[in-house]
Amino acid sequence: MEEIIRRATKRPEAEVTELAKTPEAGILTEVLHFDTTAANQFLDLTDDVREHVARSGIRHGQVTVVTPHTTMTLAINESETGFLNDFRRAISEMVPVEGYYEHDDHEVRTENLQEDEFINGHSHVRQLLTGSTSVTVPVVEGELVLGRWQRLMVIELDQPRARRAILHTQGA
């Protein structure tokens, strides 16, 4: 059985890189660089996204968060330890690491192969079942429109490694 973790999410230690800014059009695109430390880890990006919106200067518009990774997902939900542990347990039961995945069978698979390929078919299946690689949140009066308990989280479904999230704000 997996270790039970008694803390909810944490904010990633991240570095921000500005990709583009068009002040007159109210557009800002930045990349958030961070490392994950465990499989099925939740990191809370909510405050990073709020700071991005503040840097953009928009008052009314939207922010889109995209992760360019096929074994990571974005989700808006409650950051509560019991729920997150319930998720970890449920996803491990639904999509076990030890199962057969054609993605990992290099006798069968012929597409998108690379020399240092990870055995991670389970991570790809988990991502497709659990969420999306992007979310868009409205911005009103310079604030994210989220429910009382909602947090914007990224979930590492594979092994720990360097990851990115692209933050793109547009509005006026």
Task: Write out pLDDT tens, residues 30-77.
Answer: 999 999 999 999 999 999 999 999 999 999 999 999 999 999 999 999
Distance CA 43, CA 151 (A): 10
How many domains are contained in the chain? 1
Distance CA 157, CA 125 (A): 9
Q: Specify the pLDDT at position 36.
A: 97
Q: Specify the pLDDT at position 77.
A: 96
Q: What is the mean pLDDT of residues 134-162?
A: 97
106 in a domain, yes or no? no
More confident residue, 109 or 155: 155
Print the domain residue range for 59: 16-97+120-171
Q: Say what the pTM is.
A: 0.85
- Helices 121-130 and 81-94 pack at an angle, to 10 degrees, of 120
83 in a domain, yes or no? yes
CB 63 within 8 A of CB 147: no
Q: Spell out the residues 6+ positions from residue 139 whose beta carbon is closer than 8 angstroms to its own.
A: 53, 58, 59, 60, 61, 62, 63, 145, 169, 171
